[in-house]
Amino acid sequence: MPADANQAEEERRKALIHIREFINATKDCVDTGMYLFASISPHAAVVLGVAYAVKNLISAYGPSESDPIVQELAVLRTKMDAMVDRMTGHFTAFKSFFVENHFYNDVPLTTSVLYECMQDVTSHPTEESLREFRRMYEKTSPLKQARKLIHQLETEVMNPLKTAMHADPLMSSSTFDTWQKIIDSVFTQLWEIEIKAGVLIHGKTPKDVEELFRVRKLKAEIEKYQAALKKWDHDYGISARYWPEKVKNFVVEIQDKHSSESMAEKAELIREGLEKIRTTDMFYVLVFPKSCTFTPHMRLEDQVLISPNRGGSTVIVYRSKKGAFAQEKHMKIVKNHVQFFKDVRTTQKRKVTEDLLKRWTHAAKWPGFVVVVEATSGVAVRSTRTSVQKDGPGFYLRCKLGEIGTFMDCKELPSGKHETRKTPIKLCTSRTCNKKNTPVVQHK
């Protein structure tokens, strides 16, 4: 076999490998309808190999339906069409949102049309399909679209991710992640179009494409977006834009709609909702019957939400800013101070008053919030992010009173067993930082 024939055969073999590798590389993206840059960009050589195979089909001998390369390209087109359909489905799911935001009708729609023209060249590698792709490419270049998209994202009211987060009742991680992936998919389509155009339109070899001005500038725009995304994520993690209004509305809704359910069930529903918030904060949730008497004291009043006497229950939510970073030794200090409070009450046998609780809390190093709840049963405590801190950002224990509402006998109360005329108490306290600014929860 002549050398030229050997080379041509080797190129065809590589072409088949590249097409099949691209199909495999995009499998997860096809399944989810999210075309993620982090998943596809490492396969740039494969993407360029596909473009080079298409170029050779056009320039060398033209397509034939029986050609294995053409058949594999048809499979690839089918897979990518399925992905685009799923991407469109994501946009359709937010149709009412786009009426006000107009996001889809601008860059995403233009990109989708250009991407389809590029796909036409893949599945029908002819001079005619290439001319149409070139015409559309020159009219709406990927670099121009990427810059336009960046401009939209930098404008608060035009940024779909921020607008969606603002509209989300709990500013959830799922909303953030969904929009991040939708925007990422548009950038990835633009990137694929640009590097394939480097071969198909600009006539570069695969190894030279990434040095093209347009390709380098487009990657710079994507990097700008990725940096902005990290900043948004960080801001949502620490800004607490959800607090207290969105959490208050959520808690009230649970109380009103689930009035017939137990305190434990309500506490669990609240915990599940709070877990969804895009934040580094932790939450301590206390739910008890509305008939219960409770005595709170708050050093960090702006981090405590109380929704009393609603739907048969009272709910207290404590927001810990730095509880996720606390060490075990910090929790031991909290427990020791709670134990000290028990011991003092046992020795002095004095009624637990708000003033007494205030003086004790200020004398202790750590507690940012303390509450004593008098109840015979039905007190439920939950914490978020227990995979980070198994006890959450606080600590509670059970005690019992001597005479009802008069003395506190601090022997440990056996779970579920109450002596006649004795009332169990739940004492809850949440971590805060000491004077050395140990990163647990801020004082202010």
Q: Provide the pLDDT for residue 419.
A: 34
Q: What is the pTM of this model?
A: 0.83
Q: 9-23, 238-252, 254-268: lowest mean pLDDT where? A: 9-23
Point out which residues pair with 370 in neighbouring strands.
297, 429
Q: Provide the pLDDT for residue 55.
A: 93
pLDDT bin (cut points 50, 70, 90) of residue 212 is very high
342 or 259, which is more confident: 259
Alpha-carbon gap, residue 405 to 184, rounded angstroms: 60
Q: Provide the pLDDT for residue 351.
A: 62
Statement: residue 436 has pLDDT above 50: no
Burial-class residue 420 by CB neighbours within 10 Å (0-12, 13-18, 19+). exposed
Mean pLDDT of the chain: 82
Helical segments of 34-106, H only:
37-40, 44-56, 68-93, 95-101
Q: Provide the pLDDT for residue 249.
A: 98
- Cβ neighbours, 10 Å, residue 203: 9
pLDDT tens-digit readout, 368-394: 778 888 777 889 999 998 888 877 887
pLDDT bin (cut points 50, 70, 90) of residue 250 is very high
Q: What is the mean pLDDT of residues 188-204?
A: 97
Peptide bond just before 142 cis, omega within 30 deg: no
Q: Provide the pLDDT for residue 89.
A: 84
Q: Provide the pLDDT for residue 408.
A: 28
Statement: residue 366 has pLDDT above 80: no
Q: 14-28, 58-72, 145-159, 239-253: lowest mean pLDDT where? A: 58-72
Statement: residue 287 has pLDDT above 60: yes
pLDDT tens-digit readout, 398-431: 766 443 222 222 233 333 333 333 334 444 444 4
Q: Provide the pLDDT for residue 161.
A: 93
Statement: residue 433 has pLDDT above 80: no
Tokens of 378: 């039905």
Identify whether the C-beta of residue 277 lies closer than 8 Å to the C-beta of residue 176: no
Statement: residue 166 has pLDDT above 70: yes
303 or 414, which is more confident: 303
Q: Can you list the pairs that 126-134 forms with residues at least 24 positions away whose Cβ atoms lie under 8 Å?
A: 126/58, 126/62, 126/63, 127/58, 130/58, 130/200, 130/201, 133/197, 133/200, 133/201, 134/201
Which amino acid, one-letter code, is at 222? I
Statement: residue 262 has pLDDT above 60: yes
E strand or H helix at 221: helix 213-239
Residues above pLDDT 90, as percent of the chain: 53
Burial-class residue 432 by CB neighbours within 10 Å (0-12, 13-18, 19+). buried
Q: Quick one: CA torsion of 336, 338, 343, 349, rounded to 10 degrees? A: 170
Statement: residue 346 has pLDDT above 90: no
Write the CB contacts of 184 (distance below 8 Å, at least 6 apart in sequence). 34, 35, 36, 37, 38
Unique residue bearing structure tokens 């008053």: 353
Nearest Cα to Cα of residue 91 among 33, 174, 141: 33
Alpha-carbon gap, residue 69 to 60, rounded angstroms: 13
Q: What is the mean pLDDT of residues 193-199?
A: 97
Tokens of 69: 């390369």
Q: What is the mean pLDDT of residues 203-208?
A: 92
Q: What is the mean pLDDT of residues 340-351?
A: 60
Identify whether the C-beta of residue 130 lies closer than 8 Å to the C-beta of residue 200: yes
Q: 82-96, 122-136, 248-262: lowest mean pLDDT where? A: 82-96
pLDDT bin (cut points 50, 70, 90) of residue 97 is low
Q: Sheet containing 293-298: give its strands across.
A: 293-298, 369-374, 424-430, 394-401, 408-409
Q: What is the mean pLDDT of residues 33-55?
A: 94
Statement: residue 162 has pLDDT above 50: yes
How many residues in total does the chain contain? 444
Q: Provide the pLDDT for residue 345.
A: 58
pLDDT bin (cut points 50, 70, 90) of residue 235 is very high
Point out which residues pair with 277 in neighbouring strands.
172
Q: Provide the pLDDT for residue 411.
A: 31
Q: Sheet containing 313-320: give its strands across.
A: 304-310, 313-320, 282-289, 380-383
Give all strands (DSSP E) within 172-292, no chain letters.
282-289
pLDDT bin (cut points 50, 70, 90) of residue 364 is low
Q: Provide the pLDDT for residue 440.
A: 26
